[in-house]
A and B are shown apart, each in its own frame.
Chain A
Amino acid sequence: MKTFFFYKELCDMCKKCEIACVEACKNGSELTRKAAPFIHIVFGIDGPTHIQCRHCEEPPCVDACIGVSLYKGNYIVGQSEERCIGCLMCNMVCPYGVPQPVYEMEKMAKCCFQCGEIDNPPCVKACDRGALKLSFPQIELKKIRRQRVEKFIRR
């Protein structure tokens, strides 16, 4: 199960990922086109941070969806757009603040990988700093741990 990793110390807020997302979503549905980009780089409390669907293993938004519009697929949290009624329940429970209302369509929108590239999405490809990665948590966390140990030894 892959998820997104963000290294704030590498990010220089160039927002190429946002542009790539918008470009890739141009062929998506009307809701997707209106709501893109689905990644936002903002300046958080302690540096840059990303607002982006993590496609959780146990997504609270799926449990909360009273219209059974959001669903947990094999790799992603997807959305059957025609079932969405814009009730805001997903917005209410998402700890990452991801699903956002598209007011004129009275629907909620979030990243559903409409770019079609689940393994290497455009947002990750666009990041030439290596700040955004899509990886398996076990592998990525191991890497981070090893880096920390090496840093400690070198010191």
Chain B
Amino acid sequence: MKEKIRYLIIGNCIAGITAASELRRLNPKDEIIILSDEPVPGYCRCLITYYLGNFIQENQLFSHSLDWYKQKDIELQLSTKVVGIDPKNRYVITNKRKKKIAYDKLLIASGARPLFFPGVSPHPDGILGMRTYEDAKRLIALADKGKRALIVGAGFVGLKTAYGLIHRGVKVDIVELLPNLMGRMIDAEASHRITERLTSHPLLDIRFNTSVIETVRINNRFRASLSDGTEMDVDFVVVSVGTRPNIEFLEDTGVKVEWAIVVDEKQMTTVEDIYAAGDNTVITNLLTGKKQNIALWPIAASQARVAAFNMSGRQMSFPGDIPMNSVDFFGLWYTALGEVQAEGDGIVHKIFSNDRFYQKLILKDDKPIGFLSVSNVNHAGIILSLIRERVPWKECKKHPLASLVPILQLD
């Protein structure tokens, strides 16, 4: 038995940090190393659009200082990218002169990166995704010079980026392939209401059912050709059409990958002593029972905690979760839980709305499976617990706090 066990964590966002701090709590004497490919210590990835819009200062963006790592005795290696893993001899290979770092237990929390598509590929002068601190810095520099931006994709990231850019005085056009905002996390009515609010802003324009065919660099600007035939000259382009997991270094390791890393309930991959958590994994969707990538901060944190417990030899399991998200922008508060676009047999919609707010609860086989709410979001957590526990509608109405949630009082 070795004196000290070495826990190695790839990735320094919420999954990596949560796992490290839990591992430290459970194993006060062991060695913990975090490898990060970014040059800065822990920061809140979800806040970079707030930073872009000047709603928060830089010090508010950073959540874990170098002192925090020192105090917890966690070794943080910045700007270190993992290029390969040898599970047999238990070491990872980094990009720094192919240096090898041995491990006893490994956690892969490498996250994901923005997805690009043919015709719109990354360009050093101004085609980028919005994912990291460096992206935010680049975008701030671009927004200070340019006055017109194109955002491809009207998902949560795209809209929050647009909100940030508008606050810097940039005219923003959003192009979305689907007929609605936010992909699968919205219905037609909510999309309509939010779109109306967004486009009432003079600096924002949204085109639905449109895609970008290609972008060409002309006269220090980008000319984007859209599928509806228009051409648009912009200073820079932000692509937010989705993400793909950072798992290239897993080739030939035997770790099973189905789009993202497959993990069991203990967050262990198919290779012993290699665990994974965060945006680079597929988890069970509790509503459909299918494996799905749900890239969400709270889920990454819970997964990491479960992984840390199991890595320390304790028992804990992560059953899965449901898709959800909530956002505040343009003076609007929006929350969506579960499957909000379900249609067909056995589906009942309960709608509670007036001209100021809109709430909808979706029931399948008499059990709530989805909920969305525009502008009136109080007590959404109560409904989340009802959806997670698959409580029948009649029982939902008997929830001790049901009298607070108007939608639960509908017939």
Asked whether any CB of chain A lies closer than 8 Å to the CB of B152, the reply is no
CA A91 – CA B45 in complex, angstroms?
A: 20
The answer to whether A63 touches B302, judged by C-beta atoms less than 8 angstroms apart, is yes
The answer to whether A45 touches B403, judged by C-beta atoms less than 8 angstroms apart, is yes
Give A16-59 as 1s and 0s: 1 = Cβ < 8 Å from B's Cβ atoms: 00000000000000000000000000111110010100000000
Residue in A63, A85, A97, A98 whose beta carbon sits within 8 Å of that of B56 in the complex:
A85
Q: Within residues 103 to 122 of chain A, which ones have a CB less than 8 A from any CB in chain B?
A: 106
Residues of A within 8 A of B326 (CB): 87-89, 91-92
CA A67 – CA B63 in complex, angstroms?
A: 8
Q: A91-B378, A92-B381 are in contact. Are A67 and B47 (CB under 8 A)?
A: yes
Residues of B within 8 A of A86 (CB): 328
Residue in B298, B328, B385, B400 whose beta carbon sits within 8 Å of that of A63 in the complex:
B298
The smallest C-beta distance from B285 to any residue of chain A, in angstroms, reads 17
Q: A64-B298, A88-B333, A88-B377 are in contact. Are A49 and B400 (CB under 8 A)?
A: yes
Asked whether any CB of chain B lies closer than 8 Å to the CB of A100, the reply is yes
Known: A68-B44, A83-B60, A97-B404. 5 other contacts (CB 8 A): A64-B301, A66-B46, A67-B44, A88-B328, A95-B382
Asked whether any CB of chain B lies closer than 8 Å to the CB of A134, the reply is no
Residue in B56, B305, B335 whose beta carbon sits within 8 Å of that of A92 in the complex:
B335
The answer to whether A95 touches B384, judged by C-beta atoms less than 8 angstroms apart, is yes
CA A102 – CA B297 in complex, angstroms?
A: 23
Q: A66-B44, A88-B326, A95-B385 are in contact. Are A100 and B378 (CB under 8 A)?
A: yes
Residues of A within 8 A of B301 (CB): 63-64
Total interface residues on B, CB under 8 Å, equals: 40
Asked whether any CB of chain A lies closer than 8 Å to the CB of B7, the reply is no
3 tightest Cβ-Cβ pairs between the two chains A and B: A97-B379, A66-B46, A94-B381
CB closest chain-B residue, reference A95: B385
The answer to whether A92 touches B380, judged by C-beta atoms less than 8 angstroms apart, is yes
Show 12 residue pairs from A and B whose CB-CB distance is below 8 angstroms, ordered by the A residue. A42-B401, A43-B403, A45-B398, A63-B298, A66-B297, A67-B46, A67-B47, A83-B63, A87-B326, A95-B384, A97-B401, A98-B381
Residue in B63, B297, B400, B404 whose beta carbon sits within 8 Å of that of A89 in the complex:
B297
Give B374-411 as 1s and 0s: 1 = Cβ < 8 Å from A's Cβ atoms: 00011111101100000000000111111111000000
Asked whether any CB of chain B lies closer than 8 Å to the CB of A78, the reply is no
Asked whether any CB of chain A lies closer than 8 Å to the CB of B222, the reply is no
The answer to whether B380 touches A91, judged by C-beta atoms less than 8 angstroms apart, is yes
The smallest C-beta distance from B268 to any residue of chain A, in angstroms, reads 20
Asked whether any CB of chain B lies closer than 8 Å to the CB of A150, the reply is no
CA A88 – CA B228 in complex, angstroms?
A: 37
Q: A85-B47, A95-B384, A95-B385 are in contact. Are A60 and B328 (CB under 8 A)?
A: no
Total interface residues on A, CB under 8 Å, equals: 31
Asked whether any CB of chain A lies closer than 8 Å to the CB of B141, the reply is no
Residues of B within 8 A of A43 (CB): 403
Residues of B within 8 A of A13 (CB): none
Give B277-298 as 1s and 0s: 1 = Cβ < 8 Å from A's Cβ atoms: 0000000000000000000011
CB closest chain-B residue, reference A44: B400
Q: Of B63, B301, B379, which is in contact with the most chain A CB atoms at under 10 Å from its CB?
A: B379
CB closest chain-A residue, reference B371: A92
The smallest C-beta distance from B124 to any residue of chain A, in angstroms, reads 29
The answer to whether A87 touches B381, judged by C-beta atoms less than 8 angstroms apart, is no
The answer to whether A42 touches B403, judged by C-beta atoms less than 8 angstroms apart, is yes
The smallest C-beta distance from A79 to any residue of chain B, in angstroms, reads 14
Residue in B18, B47, B399, B402 whose beta carbon sits within 8 Å of that of A66 in the complex:
B47
The answer to whether B328 touches A97, judged by C-beta atoms less than 8 angstroms apart, is no
Residue in A42, A83, A106 whose beta carbon sits within 8 Å of that of B404 in the complex:
A42
CB closest chain-B residue, reference A97: B379
Residues of B within 8 A of A9 (CB): none
CA A131 – CA B335 in complex, angstroms?
A: 34
CB closest chain-A residue, reference B398: A45
Asked whether any CB of chain B lies closer than 8 Å to the CB of A93, the reply is yes
Asked whether any CB of chain B lies closer than 8 Å to the CB of A96, the reply is yes
The smallest C-beta distance from B245 to any residue of chain A, in angstroms, reads 20
CA A98 – CA B402 in complex, angstroms?
A: 14
CA A88 – CA B336 in complex, angstroms?
A: 11
CA A87 – CA B47 in complex, angstroms?
A: 10
The answer to whether A45 touches B381, judged by C-beta atoms less than 8 angstroms apart, is no
Give B20-53 as 1s and 0s: 1 = Cβ < 8 Å from A's Cβ atoms: 0000000000000000000000001111001000
